[in-house]
Amino acid sequence: MKSTLRRRLPVAVILLSAPGALALGGLAALGHLAAEWALAGVALVVVAVFAILYPHFAHVEALRRYIEALRSAGASDPLPKPPSGRSPVLAPELDETVVETARERQRRRRELEAAITGNETILSNLPDPLIMLDRGRRIVRANPAAESLFGGNLMGRDLISILRNPNLLSAADAAVAGEDGQVVEFALHGEIEREFSARVVPLTTPALDGTVAILSLHDLTAARQAERMRADFVANASHELRTPLSSLIGFIETLRGPAREDGEAQERFLVIMHDQSMRMARLVDDLLSLSRIEMQEHTPPTGSASLQRTLESVARGLELKARARGIRIELSLPDLPPVVGEQDELAQVFQNLIDNAVKYGRTDSRVVVAARLADPASDPAARRIARPTAAISVTDSGDGIPREHLPRLTERFYRINTARSRELGGTGLGLAIVKHIVNRHRGQLTVDSETGRGSVFTVYLPLAEPYEGLDDMARKAG
């Protein structure tokens, strides 16, 4: 301010005082005015002009400083103080207009910055990778999902350096040239192969940063895997039904033809036919159970079930089958509170687990069914449920399960030895049913196994009500 005042004010004072000073000097030269009076007059004119100009210059300078402060203020900074005082020359409305314009500008800036921040947040949180391309197919921007998929540092690179699929590249070329957008499906080969659907669309008007087209990727891997699983499931189920059905058809034809008169063969065949029909019935029952449980899986059960009653009744039902193999089912059931759940579904879980232990256990051995309160401090599965939990384990002394099979054991129709499972009457769906019921009950299933020694299947279920003896029980269990 000082500099403007110092530079411009003296010049303006001199210029505006000059006509008066010249007139007074002329009068003195012509002898109409004494030189002292002329000098005094000039001094008076200068002082008067200065007195008029100073507040005007000071005000203009204050306005200039105000505008300068506005320019350097950020959108979130408070507005600088408007200039005080007034100019004898400028209209007072000018100040108001300047301040009003400044306020409006600040408001617009804030709106713009909020919109930009909002867009940035959306872009950053978008789970699908997004890449902006310029006219030369170079990457102008990429969101974090794209950076993490392709390893970061994408700016300025040609698209071909990260994606080599020829169809995708030609779709990108077309889009950056302003042609119609396209959808291209392709696979990314890495440690695990992933399938993507890519959509490349041109922008209606190029963005300021040079973006002319956007490439968005959508991961199809999970959906494709589900499609394949569904197709596999239908193929497996049909195959499982087809085998006993073919055998039944074969025997019926034999009974109607060559064995028509052979009473002994008929007896033998009918036993086999009965077994095959029972196998089909078991399979259909298991398929129906599975589909019913899957449909209910997203609605957790509301009732409560007594573990003791459920386990005792299931064990009793399997006693005959176990005895036939010389296996003793031992129950170790402390007085546990009820768990959240539906008695029938939980009975099916333990029926399948104890039945497997009997089927795959060694002859003349023991199957131990033990329930306890799980301690979250030492038990990760109990910790995952995050509320008081009962753990029920079924332990057999069978051949055990090789480690590599453990992750796939609960898949439908997954068996370690299909022939053996069929021979023992298995459908290959038992553990899939267990997994879905346990999921519905918001529980956990763990499998520990050692080949040659046996397996332990443990089901964790949340308790139905706060249990007063919990600490006590935990101490005993610990």
427 binds ligand ADP (CB under 6 A): yes
User: Could you say which of 398, 458, 463, 473 contacts ligand ADP (CB under 6 A)?
Assistant: 398
Q: To the nearest whole angstrom, how small is the minimum distance from the Cβ of residue 185 to ligand ADP?
A: 34
430 binds ligand ADP (CB under 6 A): yes
Q: To the nearest whole angstrom, how small is the minimum distance from the Cβ of residue 409 to ligand ADP?
A: 5
Q: To the nearest whole angstrom, how small is the minimum distance from the Cβ of residue 401 to ligand ADP?
A: 5
CA 90 to chain centroid: 62
Binding segment for ligand ADP among 18-26, 78-86, 204-212, 415-423 (CB under 6 A)? 415-423
Nearer to ligand ADP, 341 or 430 (CB): 430
240 binds ligand ADP (CB under 6 A): no
3-state secondary structure 214-267: EEEEEECHHHHHHHHHHHHHHHHHHHHHHHHHHHHHHHHHHHHCCCCCCHHHHH
456 binds ligand ADP (CB under 6 A): no
Q: What distance in Å separates the CA atoms of residue 387 and residue 371, rounded to the nearest whole number?
A: 17
Return the DSSP state at 283.
H
User: Could you say which of 73, 416, 474, 477 contacts ligand ADP (CB under 6 A)?
Assistant: 416
441 binds ligand ADP (CB under 6 A): no
Q: To the nearest whole angstrom, how small is the minimum distance from the Cβ of residue 319 to ligand ADP?
A: 18
User: Could you say which of 143, 356, 389, 458 contacts ligand ADP (CB under 6 A)?
Assistant: 356
Q: Which residues contact 91 (CB under 8 A, 6 or more apart)?
A: none
Q: What distance in Å separates the CA atoms of residue 124 and residue 276, rounded to the nearest whole number?
A: 58
Q: What distance in Å separates the CA atoms of residue 149 and residue 314, rounded to the nearest whole number?
A: 50
Q: What distance in Å separates the CA atoms of residue 58 and residue 87, rounded to the nearest whole number?
A: 8
289 binds ligand ADP (CB under 6 A): no
Nearer to ligand ADP, 149 or 367 (CB): 367
458 binds ligand ADP (CB under 6 A): no
Binding segment for ligand ADP among 33-41, 151-159, 178-186, 353-361 (CB under 6 A)? 353-361
- Cβ contact 207:189 at 8 Å: no
Nearer to ligand ADP, 143 or 348 (CB): 348
Task: Give phi and psi for 290, each to the nearest 5.
Answer: -60, -45
Place of tokens 């006219």: 135
396 binds ligand ADP (CB under 6 A): yes
User: Could you say which of 360, 373, 392, 395 contacts ligand ADP (CB under 6 A)?
Assistant: 360
User: Could you say which of 83, 338, 428, 462 contacts ligand ADP (CB under 6 A)?
Assistant: 428
Return the DSSP state at 152.
S
Q: What distance in Å separates the CA atoms of residue 71 and residue 65, rounded to the nearest whole number?
A: 10
Task: Please tell me whether residue 393 adopts helix, strand or coil conformation.
Answer: strand
426 binds ligand ADP (CB under 6 A): yes
Q: To the nearest whole angstrom, how small is the minimum distance from the Cβ of residue 429 to ligand ADP?
A: 6
Task: Give phi and psi for 361, each to the nearest 5.
Answer: -75, 160
Nearer to ligand ADP, 145 or 401 (CB): 401
What string of DSSP letters covers 17-36? HHHHHHHHHHHHHTTSS-HH
User: Could you say which of 142, 184, 357, 374 contacts ligand ADP (CB under 6 A)?
Assistant: 357
Query: Which of 227, 167, 176 shows the shortest CA–CA distance to 197?
Result: 167
Nearer to ligand ADP, 141 or 359 (CB): 359
- Residues binding ligand ADP (CB under 6 A): 352, 356-357, 360, 396, 398, 401, 409, 414-417, 421, 426-432, 455
